[in-house]
Amino acid sequence: MRLSSRLSLTQQNALLLVAFLIAFELVTATATAYFLMLPMARRSAADLAGLMTLSAQTWSELPPVTRPAFEIELARSHALALRADPPEGAEAPEWREPYLKFLVEALGERLGEPVTSSRELVGDNEWFWVSLPSGGGRLSVGLPHSRIGPRPIHALLVSLAGGALLALLAAWWLARRTTRPLQRLQLAVTSLGRGQTPERLPETGPREIAALSRRFNEMAKQVEDLLAARTVLLAGVSHDLRTPLARLRLAVEMLVRKPGPELAAQVEGDIEAMDRLIGDVLTLARGLGHEANQRVALPALLVDLVRATPGAADRVRIEAADITLEVPAGALRRILANLLENALRYGGGQPVSLRAEVADGICRIGVLDRGPGIPPAEREAVFRPFHRLEASRSVSTGGSGLGLAIVRQLASAQGWEVGLQGRAGGGLAVWLKIPLLPGVAGAP
């Protein structure tokens, strides 16, 4: 089905509200008519039937002289008419009003015989007549159609029409109240899909709309951060590759003129540096990928990590409780390896501690060194790609500037947290916080 042929939200709400309202009014009208109006109509018809039979009997018993006065009083007080002769041009009743049918039934029950009824048009008013026994003859007793006050069918129709109108107005108001933020969301999504930066949506209105706007704003912020990180990543890679490429170009020219092992070693070192940079960039780009969980014995992982890290065996001390985690082992190992390499590189030759502990359902893994540390104002900036505290941008002194960026990216993808803290007496503590799953060893 084409989009243009579908109903709008306003139309859908209007149709639903009208349908539910009509169904509700029909049920209400049916219950009211069956349990309230019909019993009242039958009782009223029975009372009127008694009054009509009594009037016909009284009229026959009065002296002829007083009968006109009795007819006038009966018409004034009860809107009933008496006539000795049957109405001329009378027709069979159409029973448009159920009350008239109830009246004929009540008269038949009271008299014990069928009652003849008819209708007559007198001027602009329609009269209903019944033939009743009076004395030794019969008397026609009539009442105008206007005497029947209640109009249940008319009331139901008016109620349905008014309810439908109110339902349409309510649906229009509700739909506008709902579709306005949805229209803003549609425009924002379209803008975001074109690579533009959309305006933040107001997080107001109903709870669901506010939650949707809040989630979109968070998603837009994440997309902006990813685009900014991509730009920084490309700019950093291009910048950091220029230096080794320039050295390689110069070394190639010198190798042509005067080859030697030192130049070959320099070329090989530059190639390795570029390979490490490209590897770090690929690791950062794959940071959002998800790895399957597996059971990891944390002390064994830390011991294996120290053995695999050059120069770590003599400087690293492990202080780990017996903890088993259900985590992506590759991501955890890469995070801890980057942190340990940074601690060994910038720790000033001092011992490095690896600590693992559990508190309040969270496993905390810390890499602690006694190096110069990081100023508090820079502790968030160092997680940005290619941000270096050492300004020379030399790989030998400052690294590629991607180590902590990879750590933050991998941790965020798994729902973990990474934070930096200064240590009393100097140094830096980097803590990785991993929520423990229920039933995992070490969990409370």
Query: Of 44-53, 208-217, 300-309, which gets the smallest average pLDDT?
Result: 208-217
In a domain, 368, yes or no: yes
Instruction: Kindly compute the dihedral angle of the four CA atoms of residues 143, 144, 145, 146, in this order, to the nearest 10 degrees.
Output: -120
Residues 46 and 96 in one domain: yes
Residues 272 and 301 in one domain: no
**Of 120, 98, 90, 84, whose CA–CA distance to 34 is shortest?**
98
| Structure tokens that stand for 294 in this block | 């597996």
Written as one letter, the residue type at 198 is: P
CATH number reported for the structural domain that contains residue 230 in this entry: 1.10.287
In a domain, 440, yes or no: no
Residues 149 and 18 in one domain: yes
Q: From CA 130, how far away is CA 113, in angstroms rounded? A: 13
- Asked if residues 114 and 108 have their Cβ atoms less than 8 Å apart, the reply is yes
Check whether 391 has a pLDDT greater than 50: no
Q: From CA 415, how far away is CA 433, in angstroms rounded? A: 9
Query: Of 169-173, 304-308, 311-315, 365-369, which gets the smallest average pLDDT?
Result: 169-173
Q: From CA 221, how far away is CA 213, in angstroms rounded? A: 12
- In this structure, how many other beta carbons lie within 10 angstroms of the beta carbon of residue 162? 12
In a domain, 351, yes or no: yes
Q: From CA 233, how far away is CA 224, in angstroms rounded? A: 14
**Domain range holding 119?**
3-154
| Structure tokens that stand for 141 in this block | 């007793």
Q: Is 311 helix (H, G, I), strand (E, B) or coil?
A: coil
Residues 388 and 317 in one domain: yes
- Sign of the CA dihedral running 302, 303, 307, 308: negative
- Sign of the CA dihedral running 79, 83, 86, 88: negative
Task: Pick the last residue of a domain from 154, 184, 218.
Answer: 154
Say how far residue 259 (Cα) sits from the centre of its chain.
70
* Mean pLDDT calculated for residue range 139-167: 76
Q: From CA 317, how far away is CA 343, in angstroms rounded? A: 12
Q: Is 42 helix (H, G, I), strand (E, B) or coil?
A: helix
What's the domain count of the chain?
A: 3
Considering only the C-alpha atoms of the chain, give the largest distance between any 2 of them, rounded to a whole number of Å: 155
Residues 351 and 281 in one domain: no
**Of 326, 340, 360, whose CA–CA distance to 403 is shortest?**
340
Q: From CA 1, how far away is CA 3, in angstroms rounded? A: 6
Q: From CA 114, how far away is CA 425, in angstroms rounded? A: 115
Q: From CA 298, how far away is CA 156, in angstroms rounded? A: 76
Q: How many CA atoms are closer than 13 Å to the CA of 111, on its beta-carbon side?
A: 23
- Asked if residues 166 and 9 have their Cβ atoms less than 8 Å apart, the reply is no
Task: Pick the last residue of a domain from 251, 285, 319.
Answer: 285
Instruction: Indicate the pLDDT class of residue 37, thresholds 50, 70 and 90.
Output: confident
Residue 115, C-beta contacts closer than 8 angstroms, at least 6 positions apart: 104, 107, 108, 130, 131, 132
Written as one letter, the residue type at 319 is: E
Q: What integer pLDDT is reported at residue 190 of this predicted model? A: 84
Q: Which of 35-44, 219-228, 359-368 has the highest mean pLDDT?
A: 359-368
Check whether 364 has a pLDDT greater than 90: yes
Residues 253 and 115 in one domain: no
Residues 281 and 314 in one domain: no
Q: What integer pLDDT is reported at residue 377 of this predicted model? A: 84
Residues 249 and 314 in one domain: no
Q: What integer pLDDT is reported at residue 125 of this predicted model? A: 81
| Structure tokens that stand for 264 in this block | 């070959």
Q: Which of 38-47, 186-195, 206-215, 288-297 has the highest mean pLDDT?
A: 38-47
Higher pLDDT, 103 or 272: 103
* Mean pLDDT calculated for residue range 118-136: 85
Instruction: Indicate the pLDDT class of residue 284, thresholds 50, 70 and 90.
Output: low
Residues 254 and 377 in one domain: no
Bridge-based pairing of strands 316-320 and 352-359 is: parallel
In a domain, 443, yes or no: no
